Chains A and B, each alone.
Chain A
Amino acid sequence: MFDMTPNILRNFFHKSSTRLYPKETRQAFGNARGELYNEIEACIFCRTCARKCPSQCITVDTKEATWQCDPFVCVYCGVCVENCPKKCLHQKNDYRKPVTDKEIIFMKGETKKKKCEGDPQET
C-alpha cells in the first residue's frame, strides 16, 4: 500500500518541474522545425516547394512572381525547405503566435524590386 509515497515526497521536497512559460521562455532547440519563411529576394519561383509540399499549402505564381503560404495549413514538415534549390526557404525554431483571425502569408517578389505584404515574420 501507498507505494507512491516516496515519489510524491520526493516531488514535494524538490523544486517543481514546471517551466513557468510566459515568465521564463526556454530556448528552442537548434534545429526545431518552426514557422516557415521565404527570403523572397533569393526565390526563383520554381514551384518545387509547392509541388513537394504534402499539405499543399504553398502557392507559387511564376509569372506574377508571388509566393504564398497558408500558415494554417502548413504542417511544418520541412520538406519544402529540404527541396528548395536556392535554399531561400527557412524555418524558424518556433511556431507562429496564435491569432484571432486567419491570415495568409503573401509575398511578392521581383528580380529587382521586392515588396512584402502582410509579412508576419516579425510577430
Chain B
Amino acid sequence: MIKGIIMVFIGVFVAPLLGGLIAGVDRRLTAWFQSRYGPPVWQPFFDVIKLFGKERMVVNRWLVFCAHVYITAAMLSVVLFFLQSDLLLILFVQAVGAIFLVIGALSTTSPYSQLGANRELIQILTYEPLIILAFVGIYLVTGSFRISEILVQTKPLLVSLPLLYIALCYALTIKLRKSPFDFSTSHHAHQELVKGFLTEYSGPYLALVEIGHWYEVVLILGLCSLFWATSWIGIIALVGVTYFCEILIDNVTARLTWRWMLGYVWPMGLAMGFVNLIWLHGR
C-alpha cells in the first residue's frame, strides 16, 4: 500500500519534474549539436511558470476544457505506469489526453490549429498501432500485459524484441514531435503551420499542455525502459542512448510530410513489428 502511494506520488509530482528536466537537457544538447551555447537546463520550468503568469486569453472555452482533460489523462497514464498496471490500459488513457488535445484544437475556427490537429490525428494514427504491436510483443514474451510481470523477467526484453523496439522508437520520435515528424506542431520555429495545433493554446493553458507533454515524455521513455528492466544500469543506458539518438535524428533530418510518414513509417514499423511477432510465435 505504502509502496503504491509512493508510486502515485512519483507519478504525479516527480514525473513532470523529470520530464521538464529531460526537455531542458534536450534543448541544451540540441544547442550543442548546432554549435550553440544553449539555454540552461531548467529553462522549460521558467517557460512554464512564465506561461502560468500570463494573461488568460481564449478563442473558445472548449480549449480550456480540453487542456485540463489532457493533463488529467496524461497524469493518470503516468500514475498507472508507476503502479505497474496494464500496458494497454495505459495506452488508452494516454489516448484520452491526446484526443482531447486534438479536439480542443479542432474546436477553434483557426485554420492553422485545424490543420495541425488533423496532422496530429495522423500522427496518432501512425504511432498507436506501433505501440500496440510492441505491447503484444511484450505479452507474447511475458504472457501478460501487466508491467509488474515484465519486471520479474530475468532476461531483458530487448533481446527478444529488438525490431519492436525500433518500431517503438518510431512511435517515440513521433510522440516527441521530433524531426522528421514535427509537422503537427514544432518545437522549432519556421514551421509552415506556425505552431500547428498549439496555435490557439496560450498562456496558462499552453503551460498545461506543456506539462502534459512532460508527463507523456516520461511515460514513453518509461515504456522504452521496460525493454531492459532487469537492471538499473540497463534502464539508464537504454533510455539514455535512445534519447540521445532521438536528438541526433532530430538534428540530422529535415521535416518530412505526413504523406511520407504514412507511406514509410507505417509499412516499415508494422512490418518490423510483425516480423518480430512471427519470430516470437515461431519459438
Whether A and B touch (Cβ < 8 Å) is answered with yes
Chain A residues engaging chain B, CB cutoff 8 angstroms: 2-5, 8, 11-12, 14, 16-18, 20
Can you name 18 extra interface pairs (CB under 8 A) apart from A4-B251, A11-B33, A16-B36? Answer: A2-B249, A2-B252, A2-B253, A4-B252, A5-B248, A8-B33, A8-B34, A8-B248, A8-B251, A12-B32, A12-B33, A14-B35, A16-B31, A16-B32, A16-B37, A17-B36, A18-B36, A20-B37
B interface, size bucket: 10 to 19
Q: Report chain B residues within 8 Å CB of A16.
A: 31-32, 35-38
Using Cβ atoms and an 8 Å threshold, which residues of chain B touch A4?
A: 251-253
Interface string of B152-190 (1 = CB under 8 A from A): 000000000000000000000000000000000000000
Q: Which residues of B contact A20 (CB under 8 A)?
A: 37
| Residues of B near any A CB (own CB < 8 A) | 31-38, 248-249, 251-253
Q: Which residues of A contact B38 (CB under 8 A)?
A: 16
Whether A17 pairs with B35 at a CB distance below 8 angstroms is yes
* Interchain CA distance A8-B253 in the complex, whole Å: 11
Determine if A18 and B252 form an interchain contact, defined as CB atoms under 8 angstroms apart. Answer: no
A-B contact count (CB 8 A): 33
Q: List 25 A-B contacts (CB under 8 A).
A: A2-B249, A2-B252, A2-B253, A3-B252, A5-B248, A5-B252, A8-B34, A8-B248, A8-B252, A11-B34, A11-B35, A12-B32, A12-B33, A14-B35, A16-B31, A16-B32, A16-B35, A16-B36, A16-B37, A16-B38, A17-B36, A18-B35, A18-B36, A18-B37, A20-B37
Name A's interface SS: loop
Q: Note all chain A residues with C-beta closer than 8 A to B34.
A: 8, 11
Least CB distance, B210 to chain A, in whole angstroms = 26
A3 nearest in chain B by CB position: B252
A16 to B32, CA, bound (A): 7
Q: How far is the CB of B143 from chain A (nearest CB, A)?
A: 38
| B32, A11: Cβ atoms closer than 8 Å | yes
- The residues of B that contact A8 with a CB separation of less than 8 Å are 33-34, 248, 251-252
How close is A3's CB to chain B, nearest CB, in angstroms? 8
B43 vs chain A, min Cβ distance (A): 15
Q: What residues on A are CB-neighbors of B33 within 8 Å?
A: 8, 11-12
10 closest Cβ contacts across the A-B interface? A11-B35, A18-B37, A4-B252, A8-B33, A2-B252, A17-B35, A16-B37, A8-B251, A5-B252, A16-B35
